[in-house]
Amino acid sequence: MYVLEFAGEDDAFAACEAGSGCSGVTRLAPGLASATDIDQIESLAFTRRAGAMVGHTDAAVESARQLLTESVIDRRGTVAVRARDVRGTTDVDTQRAERELGAVLTQRGFEIDLDDPDHELRALFSDDSCVLGWLVARSIRDFGDRMPSKRPFFQPGSMGPLLARALANIAGARPGARVLDPMCGTGGLLIEAGLAGADVIGLDAQLKMTCGTRENLTRYLGSDAGTVLTGTATRLPFAADAVDAVVFDAPYGRQSKIVDERSDGSLPRLVSATLEEANRVAPRAVLVADRPWAEAATSAGWTVETSFTRRVHASLTRHILVLTANDRSGGR
C-alpha cells in the first residue's frame, strides 16, 4: 500500500489524475490518498510524492511514535524524518514529531542524515489523521520551464503546463498511447502528453497555429515530435478508432471561423460536431470549455465518467468532462 501527497487544493481532481498512474486510489484525508500500486508518479502534475505506507493512525505525535515503534522495518542505512502539517489542518508540532520519530529509528539502528539519507520517512498529519510512509517516488516539478510565455510560439490565454499535464494524463497519455488534440492551438496539451510518453497528433484550423505548434513541439519533444496537421476538428482525417484518446480545449465564448457541412459556424455546433468526430476516432476523451457540454457529449455517443470545474479568475471557470465512448460493438 502507498500514500500519495497531492498538490493544489482540489483533491477530487488530483485523485482522478493519480488514477492514470496508480491503481486503487482512495482519498484518506485532505491532501492525502492511498494507492494499491504506483506506476507513473514522475509524470503526474497534482501528486507530488508517493511513499510505501507504514501505517495510518490519528493526528498525534504520540500515536505516530507508537505506530512506528510497533512496525516491522526491513530497511538499513541512514534516514531522515520529514513531518508535514498538510494544509495547516492540524496543530501538530512537526519539529517534535521529527525528533521523536527520529529517536525511534536511531534505537532501531539507523543513523540520522538530513542531507543525503538512504531513506526518508514522511510523517503526514492531516485533519484527524497521520500517515507514515517511506518516500519511494517524486513527480518531476519542472512545469515552470514550459510556461506559455517561455515557449517559442505564444498566444495570450494559453493553458498552463500544470493543468495541461493533468488533462493529458487523465486522457491516457503514457508510452505507447496515441493522443490527439483536434484544436491544438499553441500545442500546450500536446507538449505535456508527449513528455508523458505518448505519441501526439495535433490539428488546428489556422495555419499560424499549426506552424507554431510544430515549433513548440520541436523545442520540448525534439525533432521527431509527432504529427501536426492543418484541418477542421469537425472533419478529422483519421480512420475509426485511430487513436487512444482525444483531449481538447474548446473555444471560449466566441464563434469559430470553421464553416463546413458539419458546422454552421456557431460554437454549439462546432463543439457537438467535434465530439461526434472524437467519438468516431477514440474510445476516451477529455474536454475543457468555459461551460458544461455534458448534454452535447451524451448526444455524441459519450458517457460522462466524471466532471470538474476549476476557477481561473472572476470571469472564467473551466469545465472539464472526462468521457468514455458508449458500447460500439456490432456497429462500427
CATH number at residue 224: 3.40.50.150
- Region 175-196: mean pLDDT is 97
Asked whether residue 101 falls in the same domain as residue 156, the answer is no
Q: Which residue type, as a one-letter code, is found at position 19?
A: G
**b/e map of 109-120 (b: 16 or more CB within 10 Å)?**
ebeeeeeebebb
pLDDT score at 22: 96
pLDDT score at 157: 83
- Region 205-228: mean pLDDT is 94
Measured CA to CA, the distance from residue 192 to residue 217 in angstroms comes to 10
Domain with 44, as residue range(s), is: 2-138
Residue 81 backbone phi and psi in degrees, to 5: -110, 125
Element (H, E) at 12: helix 11-18
224 versus 70: the higher-pLDDT residue is 70
Model pTM?
A: 0.92
Asked whether residue 47 falls in the same domain as residue 149, the answer is no
pLDDT score at 271: 94
> Contact at 8 Å (CB) between 101 and 84?
no
> Contact at 8 Å (CB) between 168 and 175?
no
Q: Is residue 193 part of a domain?
A: yes
pLDDT score at 67: 98
Collect all residues with Cβ–Cβ distance below 8 Å to 325 and sequence separation of at least 6.
279, 282, 283, 284, 285, 301, 302, 303
Q: Is residue 102 part of a domain?
A: yes
Asked whether residue 38 falls in the same domain as residue 164, the answer is no
| 3-state secondary structure string across 140-209 | CCCHHHHCHHHCCCCCCCCCCHHHHHHHHHHHCCCCCCEEEECCCCCCHHHHHHHHCCCEEEEEECCHHH
| Position 261 confidence tier, pLDDT thresholds 50, 70, 90 | very low
Longest Cα separation, the chain = 75
Q: Tell whether the model's pLDDT for residue 236 goes beyond 80.
A: yes
| Position 266 confidence tier, pLDDT thresholds 50, 70, 90 | confident
Span of 32-36, 292-296, 325-329 with lowest mean pLDDT: 325-329
Asked whether residue 152 falls in the same domain as residue 109, the answer is no
Cell 486510489 sits at which residue? 25
Span of 100-104, 129-133, 169-173, 250-254 with lowest mean pLDDT: 250-254
C-alpha cell at 110: 539507523
Q: Is residue 155 part of a domain?
A: yes
pLDDT in tens, 305-326: 999 999 888 788 999 999 999 9
Give how many domains the chain has, as a whole number.
Answer: 2
Asked whether residue 102 falls in the same domain as residue 164, the answer is no
pLDDT in tens, 52-95: 999 999 999 999 999 999 999 999 999 999 999 999 999 999 99
Measured CA to CA, the distance from residue 218 to residue 193 in angstroms comes to 14
Q: Tell whether the model's pLDDT for residue 330 goes beyond 50.
A: no
Asked whether residue 24 falls in the same domain as residue 109, the answer is yes
> Contact at 8 Å (CB) between 144 and 50?
no
122, 138, 154: which is the final residue of a domain? 138
Report the mean per-residue pLDDT for the chain: 93
Q: Tell whether the model's pLDDT for residue 26 goes beyond 80.
A: yes
pLDDT in tens, 128-152: 999 999 999 999 999 999 999 999 9
Q: What are the Cα distances from residue 78, in Å, to 52, 67, 84?
A: 17, 20, 20
Q: Tell whether the model's pLDDT for residue 331 goes beyond 70.
A: no
138, 168, 201: which is the final residue of a domain? 138
| Position 119 confidence tier, pLDDT thresholds 50, 70, 90 | very high
Q: Is residue 242 part of a domain?
A: yes
Residue 209 backbone phi and psi in degrees, to 5: -70, -45
The CATH number of residue 47's host domain is: 3.30.2130.30
Span of 7-21, 45-59, 148-162, 242-256 with lowest mean pLDDT: 242-256
Asked whether residue 211 falls in the same domain as residue 289, the answer is yes
The share of the chain scoring above pLDDT 90, in percent, equals 88
3-state DSSP assignment of residue 96: helix
**Phi/psi-derived region of residue 13, left when phi > 0, alpha when psi is between -120 and 50, beta in every other case:** alpha
Asked whether residue 180 falls in the same domain as residue 198, the answer is yes
Beta strands at 245-249 and 284-289: parallel, antiparallel or unpaired: parallel
Asked whether residue 65 falls in the same domain as residue 193, the answer is no
Asked whether residue 152 falls in the same domain as residue 126, the answer is no
Measured CA to CA, the distance from residue 277 to residue 259 in angstroms comes to 15
156 versus 92: the higher-pLDDT residue is 92
Measured CA to CA, the distance from residue 117 to residue 113 in angstroms comes to 5
Q: Is residue 332 part of a domain?
A: no
Q: Is residue 331 part of a domain?
A: no
| Position 10 confidence tier, pLDDT thresholds 50, 70, 90 | very high
Q: Which residue type, as a one-letter code, is found at position 83?
A: A
Asked whether residue 90 falls in the same domain as residue 231, the answer is no
Q: Tell whether the model's pLDDT for residue 191 goes beyond 50.
A: yes
Q: Is residue 186 part of a domain?
A: yes
pLDDT score at 258: 46
Q: Is residue 122 part of a domain?
A: yes
pLDDT score at 264: 58
> Contact at 8 Å (CB) between 30 and 14?
no
Q: What are the Cα distances from residue 28, in Å, to 56, 169, 191?
A: 9, 22, 32
Measured CA to CA, the distance from residue 167 to residue 249 in angstroms comes to 10
138, 159, 174: which is the final residue of a domain? 138
Asked whether residue 18 falls in the same domain as residue 130, the answer is yes
